[in-house]
Structure formats: C-alpha cells, structure tokens
Amino acid sequence: MILIKHINNIMSIDSIVMIFLWAYFIERPNKLYELEAKLADRDFIRASKNSIFNINHIHSIEPDFDRRLILSMTGDIKLIVSRQYAAAVKEKWRLIMIEKKYRVAFTIEFAQRFTVIFSLAVIAITIAGMLIGFKGQDMRDVSTLFIINNGLQYNTIMQIAGFSLIIAFFSLLLFSEHVQTKIRFLFRGFLLLLVTLVTTSIFAIIFNWFPQDNIQDWIGFVLCTIVCFAVCFALTLLKLKLEGKKYTKLLIDYKERRNNLK
C-alpha cells in the first residue's frame, strides 16, 4: 500500500507512469493526468508536461536559466520545473510557507496563553489555601483541591491544566483575526468571562472541588474566578495595546521612508 505523503514525484515516461517514493519507485499503468486529478487536493502540482510532484517534499527552490526552477526534493532528488509552471509552483510554495508560519505562530500564542492562565490559577488556589491555613482550618475540609495543608495534589494540577487548555483555546478563538472583525471587543470579553465561569463550574461539580450546597464557597469561587479573569483580560489588553503601538510605529516609519524617496 502506498501512502500519499510518501510520494515524492510522479513522472510519465514512454506511456509508463513512475511513482517515486523516498528510496525507490514503482510503475503504474495509469495516465499522468488521471493521477493528477486524484491528487489535486493533496498538495501535488505539475512541474512539466510529464511530471507532477508533492510540494511538501521540497527542501529548497533555486532559479534556473530561461525562468525555470530547480527543486531540491527529499532523497537528494533534483526536479526541473518548466517556465510554463514556474509561477504556479512559486505561488503554491509561498502559500504553504505562510500557512506553516501561521501554524507556528498559533502554537506559540496558544502555549503563552495556556502558561499565563495555568500559572494564575495555581497562584490563586495556593493563595486561597494559605488564607484558609492562616485561619486554622484544615484545607481538606474546605476543598478537594488540597490533600495536605501545604500543597496541591497531582490530580488537582492535571485538572487545572485541563481547565487552562480549554480557556486558552476559547481565548485564542475569540480574539483571533477571523472573529475580531465580526464581534465587538467588549462582547468578546463578556463571552470569554461566560465561558470561564461555565468551565470552572463544570470542573468544580465534576471533581467536587468544594461542597455544592455551600453558598459561601460558591460566592468565593465565583469572585476568585472573576478576579483571575480580570487579570488575564488586563494582560490581554496590555498586549494588544503594545502591539498596536508597534504597528503604528512601523507604519509611521514606512511613511517617512516613502516620503524621503520622493
């Protein structure tokens, strides 16, 4: 069985289609245009009249004479792209590079938000435990978040991590470029607060963080959640403000350089 991701390129030679993989090739009776139609939505693109290739196997692109391209492929394979298809290959490669950069940026942003939310949650729970301890109460009688009087249990940390992952995801979603043009900022903030309260309530009920019939504990829990949310929201506002200043400065510098060239 051939995995499509392992296909490097496909060439048509003397009415025979040769499928090149990482270390070997196989022959098939298919027509090249038939395979091209089947692989059109799998990042395969035509390099010449008798070859197509998997753009994910490109390591580098070099210009060649007569507006052709030389592709360095997986397995030290060199593939020539004719000038007729060079523009389409460069555009496809550019879009893939943009997508990869976006994925990396998304991962980094998600990790940053998760780290901030997780850290604040741990700090808030630790401070709450210290305050309860100062009153002379056994923390285990107040909440299952604690197993001893001076720390958090391991499964509690995992619960907080799960909660933080969910909030980080919705935070990134609500403040993404696709959403911010459709929903006003304050309403997105309200939605994130609502998601935070609902998520923490679900976790509190599922994992029995504290007695569900204790109104005082619920009030303290909601207030603590709102405070933590306010801190996270303030940090987000600060970040957006700093980014806005950065882009404004870049725009001003660009206009100045453009005016100097005139």
Domain boundaries, the chain: 4-58, 94-254
Is residue 185 helix, strand or coil? helix
Residue 138 confidence (pLDDT): 56
Whole-model pTM: value is: 0.55
pLDDT of residue 233 exceeding 60, the answer is yes
Q: Identify the CA nearest to 116 among candidates 153, 168, 193.
A: 168
Buried b (16+ CB within 10 A) or exposed e, 143-165: bbbbeeeeebeeebbebbeebbe
Give the Cα separation of 152 and 77 in Å (integer).
55
| Tokens (6 digits) for 52 | 């197509």
Residue 161 confidence (pLDDT): 92
Higher confidence at residue 152 or residue 18? 18
Torsion angles phi and psi, residue 150, rounded to 5: -135, 30
Q: Which alpha helices (H) appear in the chain, and where do they start and end?
A: 32-38, 83-134, 139-142, 154-174, 177-180, 185-206, 215-261
Fold of 4-58: OB fold (Dihydrolipoamide Acetyltransferase, E2P) (2.40.50)
32-43 mean pLDDT: 79
**228 and 119 Cβ atoms separated by less than 8 Å:** no
Q: How far, in whole angstroms, is CA 115 from its chain's centroid?
A: 14
Buried b (16+ CB within 10 A) or exposed e, 192-208: bbebbeebbbeebeeee
Residue 162 confidence (pLDDT): 92
Residue 225 confidence (pLDDT): 75
